[in-house]
Amino acid sequence: MRMHLTYLVAILGTIIWNGALADVFKFVDARGHVYYTDKPRHSGYKRIIQTPLAFISTSSAMRRPVGGIGFAGASASLSRHRIEFSPMIEAAADRYSLDPRLLHAVIRAESAYNPSAVSNKGAAGLMQLMPGTADRYGVQNRFNPEDNIDGGARYLSDLLDMFQSDVRLAVAAYNSGENTVKRFGNQIPPIPETQDYVARVLSNYWRSN
């Protein structure tokens, strides 16, 4: 536990040093491994530190103009990858009549622009495609950024058509599957992970408008 506390202090130091503002969440897996993050990916994470409103208001002026919150250089990496993949994202958005800002918001929430990202459920790449979704849209290599973005953009476009351009439901379906959204009467499923995901994507999306 002493090592974990040291690691937590290091994380907090990085957040404050970079002018980043984030709550900190903790997750302990079945083997007793402890994980800390500012972006929990499932409901097993428990918030252990909440950024005070006073700290947010006094620190906002010190924040550097980069694309995201990060630990140990993640902000710079996110900003660099956003620039690197923007032409592919713009092209895919144009092909499938999507708002590129929405595509950016999904990618940021899914992988923080990391083309090598793999989730504990087996989703991979920038848009975190599951094997079945990749097969459905002809994506042979989920770690190829252009192929991954193309497949994810087509899927998101289909979801928007399916749910009559309701961005909230399309985003919820991207996270939990279209059948799950339909099963709950075309409402955002009462699944904490999905609800958090929708809120995060929409926050990123509206902030970019």
Instruction: List the catalytic residues.
Output: 110
- At which residue do the structure tokens 């097993």 appear? 44
User: Which residue from 208, 10, 6 is spatially nearest to 109, judged by alpha carbons?
Assistant: 208
Task: Give the Cα separation of 166 and 199 in Å (integer).
Answer: 14
CA torsion 185-190-194-198 (nearest 10°) is 70
Task: Give the Cα separation of 69 and 163 in Å (integer).
Answer: 31
Q: What are φ and ψ of residue 187, in 5° steps?
A: -125, 160
Question: Up-side HSE of residue 22: CA atoms within 13 Å toward CB?
Answer: 24
Count the neighbouring beta carbons within 10 Å of the beta carbon of residue 127: 29
CA 29 to chain centre: 21
Token pair listed for 79: 């900003």
